[in-house]
Amino acid sequence: MAEPTRKESTATLPGQERYVAPIDETPLQAVDSIDESAPAASMWADAWRTLRRNPMFIISAILIVLVVFVALFPGVFTKQNPNYCNLDNSLEPAKAGHPFGFDLQGCDVYTRTIYGTRTSLSVGLLSTILVVVLGAFIGALAGFFGGWVDAVLSRLTDIFLALPILLGAIVVLQMFKTSTSIWKLVLVITLFGWVSTARIARGAVMEAKNLEFNTASTALGSTPWRNLIRHIIPNSLASIIVIGTTSLGSYIVLEATLSFLGVGLPTTTVSWGGDISSAQSVLRTNPSVLFYPSAALAITVLAFIMMGDAVKDALDPKSRTA
């Protein structure tokens, strides 16, 4: 009974015959074939290809390279001493060799803006490195081991999360106001800035530890610490890099804010925040004294924020397939 049923189901009416081309006349085999000689694709390779085609990344990279070059080699752009001030030049306008004019103390605004790049960028970079290392370590421990380790570290994170970073930095720096240096400012920013990175790292590690490669590595006899360092953390770096890139600009602004409030770097240290603070007294009569260090600060922060957005889009698989 099955055979007649099969023949009836495959029968076609006159004029409805179907033509099926031979397999050698169709390009399906070429389309479905895989080039085994091609290198294996990875998330980082795909992200780099995406970044190279992103105009935001190109513009931000050019600006960041320029800012870093200015910070490393300020003598290429000016031969003046940023701490040399002459009251005879107080609030003098721009002239040959001094394109930005002079501030209230007779200091060259252009020279101080150039040399202030090194201080502000150093604080931002050092703070970001320490924040990422500390936050990623605490978040990775909490997310990987769970249990009481996660409970203790999560409560510690909540305590620091309840403290505003600016207010906490002001309180700590006021307690040790006798000698404020770049490293002391970096440590204070790190003390209150690791919380966001820890929360991001915790979530990324909790997601990565449940993937198949971790189970396979454990089955092959790998220890938990080896899994965490060799497999879990490297597969969680995308989110950590994104939060670190976007936070760098925020730490540069924080240094400028603390210096503006008078609790950051001392006045003998050339920085954008200190120059902005000094220029507020002549804001109405000579706004250009405030404009140039503020513009340098804004351009630098904008470059790092744009870089962070570009990296985030490149490392996010959903944005790449959209």
The whole domain housing 60 covers 43-81+108-321
Query: Helix 182-208 to helix 237-260 angle, to the nearest 10 degrees?
Result: 150
Pick from 128, 75, 156: which is nearest to 255 by CA? 128
CATH number at residue 118: 1.10.3720.10
The tally of CA atoms less than 13 A away on the side-chain side of residue 252 is 29
Q: How far apart are CA 59 and CA 251, in angstroms?
A: 21
**Distance between the two ends of the chain, CA-based, in angstroms?**
53
What is the token pair recorded at 52? Answer: 């190279």
**Region for residue 97 given its phi and psi (left: phi exceeds 0; alpha: psi -120 to 50; beta: otherwise):** left
| Chain centre to alpha carbon of residue 269 | 26
Distances (CA, A) of 181 to 92, 123, 256, 269: 31, 10, 14, 9
Burial classification of residue 287, based on how many CB atoms lie within 10 Å of its CB (0-12 exposed, 13-18 middle, 19 or more buried):
exposed
In a domain, 141, yes or no: yes
In a domain, 23, yes or no: no
Q: How far apart are CA 132 and CA 204, in angstroms?
A: 14
In a domain, 193, yes or no: yes
The tally of CA atoms less than 13 A away on the side-chain side of residue 298 is 7
Within 8 A by CB and 6+ apart from 268, the residues are 83
In a domain, 28, yes or no: no
In a domain, 27, yes or no: no
What pLDDT score does 226 carry?
A: 83
In a domain, 222, yes or no: yes
- The number of distinct structural domains making up the chain is 1
Query: What would you report as the CA-atom Rg of the chain, rounded to the nearest whole angstrom?
Result: 29
Are 217 and 86 contacting, i.e. CB atoms less than 8 angstroms apart? no
φ and ψ of 108, to 5 deg? -75, 115
Q: How far apart are CA 40 and CA 264, in angstroms?
A: 49
Are 297 and 238 contacting, i.e. CB atoms less than 8 angstroms apart? no
What pLDDT score does 88 carry?
A: 86
Within 8 A by CB and 6+ apart from 234, the residues are none
What pLDDT score does 318 carry?
A: 58
In a domain, 181, yes or no: yes
Can you point out the beta strands (E) in the chain?
none
Per-residue pLDDT of the chain (322 residues), as tens digits, is: 444 444 444 455 666 666 666 656 655 555 555 555 555 556 777 788 888 888 999 999 999 999 999 999 999 999 888 988 888 888 888 888 889 988 888 899 999 999 999 998 999 999 999 999 999 999 999 988 888 999 999 999 999 888 888 888 888 888 877 666 888 889 999 999 999 899 999 988 888 888 777 778 777 777 878 888 888 888 888 888 888 888 888 899 998 888 888 888 887 888 898 888 888 888 888 888 889 999 999 999 999 989 988 888 887 655 554 4
In a domain, 252, yes or no: yes
Pick from 172, 130, 134: which is nearest to 153 by CA? 134
